[in-house]
Amino acid sequence: MAGFFKKLFGGGEPAAPAEPHSYADCLIHPKPHQSAGSWRVGGTITKEIEGDVLERVYIRADSFPSESEAFEFSVTKAKQIIDQNGQMLFGDGEKSRHA
C-alpha cells in the first residue's frame, strides 16, 4: 500500500542526471525532484576556482507537471541566481552550500 501512495504522490525522487549547461564560467547541473505528483525545480551550480570546484545547491518551490519543463526551468532559475549574485555566489570560498 505504501508503494501505491509513493507512486501517486511522489517520493522526492530526483530526476535522471542531465548534461551540465555552461553559463558565465559556471556549470549548471539541473536536478529537479519529483514531489507530490509534480516536479520541483532544483540543481547545482559549480565553478572551478584556483583548482577547487565550488558547489551551490538550489531548490525552489516552483513545480511543473512534466519532468522536461522542470529541467528547462531549473536551468533558467540557475542562470537567474548567477546573474543576481554575480561574484558573491562563490566569493566566500565555501566548498558547498545552498544558493
CATH code of the domain containing 23: 3.30.160
What distance in Å separates the CA atoms of residue 37 and residue 28, rounded to the nearest whole number?
25
Q: Could you count the other beta carbons within 10 Å of the beta carbon of residue 98?
A: 7
For the segment 86-90, the average pLDDT, to the nearest whole number, is 94
For the segment 68-88, the average pLDDT, to the nearest whole number, is 97
The domain containing residue 73 runs over which residues?
Answer: 2-98
pLDDT > 80? residue 5: no
pLDDT of amino acid 18: 72
Give me the chain's average pLDDT, please. Answer: 87
Contact 85, 99 (CB under 8 A): yes
Contact 44, 99 (CB under 8 A): no
Number of domains in the chain: 1
Percent of the chain with pLDDT over 70: 83
